[in-house]
Amino acid sequence: MKIINTNFGKNLLTKLLLIIIIIAFALWGIGDFFTSTKKNVIAEVNGEPIYTKEYLNKLNKNKNFISSFLLRGKTEEEISYITLNILISEKIIDIIAEEENIYINDKTLSNFIKKDEKFKLKGKFSRTEYEKFLLKNQISHSEFENKFKKNLLKKIIIDSSTSGFNLSDYHKKTIKEDIFKEVSINFFQIKNDFNISNKEIETYFEKNKLEFSLGELRDGLKIKLNKKNLNIEKNDDTSFFEIISNIENDILDNISIDRLSKKYNLTIEKIEKINRKGINSDYNKSRNAFLVETLFVLNNDIKIQLYEKNNDFYIVELGQVYQNEKITLNEKIIKDIKKKILVEKKREISNVILNKINDDNNYFDIYASQNNIKIEKTSLSKLKKSELFKKNIQFNIIDKEKKYYFVEQDENFYIIKYLSSRILEDKAKEYEKTIETEVKMRFKNLILNEFDLIFNKKYKININREIYDRINKNTFK
């Protein structure tokens, strides 16, 4: 198993902590690895063991819930890493609870569960709703109550550590300036009238030839299957899927596309040479791009497969595989190179203009006048979408503190001159409660980041790498 990316853990677990309080305080990356004679221990927190059996049980459960918010779209490596972080965070919560003498007895736990809205019917706790929840989620009473208790402990610790904020005028002012700031600017756009010679294009192509490689290419054959070309009535689903099933069985018997065509009286179409991105040898998007995934899983052992899209089925058969195709300069590549060179030239002239403006502020107006470029004026705030600039560019301009600079957007370059800024006081007053909420959230984030530093010093986390790697290798093989 490759070395774990600890930044992944930090970012994900911090986000989870702030949003749903499932994993508390797991803001660190995994600590030192160690080799231990304790083969039943996968990790230790301040010498307190996390047993291999715990990890395996949790990992197997997580593998069955990969569609959950926590695990959706994660790789096998990330699932194993998240699983271990959950156990580490739970162990730290246990340690903190013991250190701070925080204890939740059965009566307190029962009261909190009864207050949970999802177990209420007509405003009152319903045992039936509770049982239905457990049944639906396939969880026992003891398992759910144990989880509820752990999450309650986390919430108590977090709330007690982040309560009592004093929202000073300074903090409100800072947030207000961030959200309700309006900036006025002058700007002009760099023209596209640069000459690009054939020599420049050829030189760029020779230096960057691999950039235009299409990689492995494949061609093949296909047959489209729908009710029309199978001569089946529009509403006759039974007959249609019966034939599809028969064709699928024929494919499993490794019958070629040619024989299938003759057997069912169907027309074969060619799939041109395309790469894994669906680009053909002319560097255009192929009309067969939607078949790429199927085409590139086929091989000499399995050359034919059935593919379905929008209730249309396709028989796809692999043809030839082409490696290291010669890269030649064509119109598509020339057009692409021209765009790249143009961007380079505009970036270069933008830097030249800024350097001259630094020597003489009047050069902003001089350059625009000399090149017959119109200087425009606009005001930008984070409350209103700009008609010209994308959101990230718009926000960057608002937050910039420079007098002159340039921004790049979609191959266009704009020279910016800062004029003035002001706070939209009327809007700020209208959203005063929103400001207070934002201040609280930012304070909470700062507190949680402080936890990161404290716990890194206070709690020693070690992972038994030999056991960790072996379990994951066997689990995900």
**Full DSSP string of 91-157:** HHHHHHHHHTT----HHHHHHHHHH-GGGEETTEE-HHHHHHHHHHTT--HHHHHHHHHHHHHHHHH
Q: Which residues pair with 464 in a beta bridge?
A: 34
DSSP reduced 3-state for 272: strand
Tell which wins on pLDDT, 164 or 25: 164
Most confident by average pLDDT, 111-120, 126-135, 260-269: 260-269
C-alpha R_g of the chain: 32
pLDDT at 291 (0 to 100): 93
| Residue 28 pLDDT greater than 60, yes or no | no
Q: Which amino acid is at 31?
A: G
Residue pair 95/45 in contact (Cβ under 8 Å)? The answer is yes
pLDDT at 168 (0 to 100): 55
Q: Which whole number is the average pLDDT over 93-118?
A: 83
Structure tokens of 80? 């194993």
In order, the DSSP letters of 174-210 are: HHHHHHSEEEEEEEEEPP------HHHHHHHHHHTGG
Place of tokens 């198993």: 1
Structure tokens of 282? 């002319």
Place of tokens 């030239």: 345
End-to-end CA distance of the chain: 11
Give whole-number Cα distances, 116 to 142, 201, 371, in Å.
17, 67, 68
Query: Among residues 267, 314, 273, which one has the least CA distance to residue 294?
Result: 314
pLDDT tens per residue, range 195-233: 999 999 999 999 998 888 899 999 999 999 988 889 999
Query: Among residues 421, 408, 429, which one has the least CA distance to residue 381?
Result: 421
Query: Among residues 59, 53, 4, 50, which one has the least CA distance to residue 28?
Result: 4
- Cα within 13 Å of Cα(137), Cβ side: 13
pLDDT tens per residue, range 150-172: 888 877 776 665 555 455 565 56
Query: Among residues 213, 222, 212, 216, which one has the least CA distance to residue 296?
Result: 216
pTM: 0.52
In order, the DSSP letters of 344-402 are: HHHHHHHHHHHHHHHH-TTHHHHHHHHTT---EEEEEETTS--SSS-HHHHHHHHH---
Q: Does domain 6-162+441-475 have CATH number 1.10.4030.10?
A: yes
pLDDT tens per residue, range 292-323: 999 999 998 889 999 888 778 999 999 999 99
Distance CA 469, CA 218 (A): 37
Structure tokens of 137? 């989620």
- Confidence grade of residue 393 (pLDDT, cut at 50, 70, 90): very high
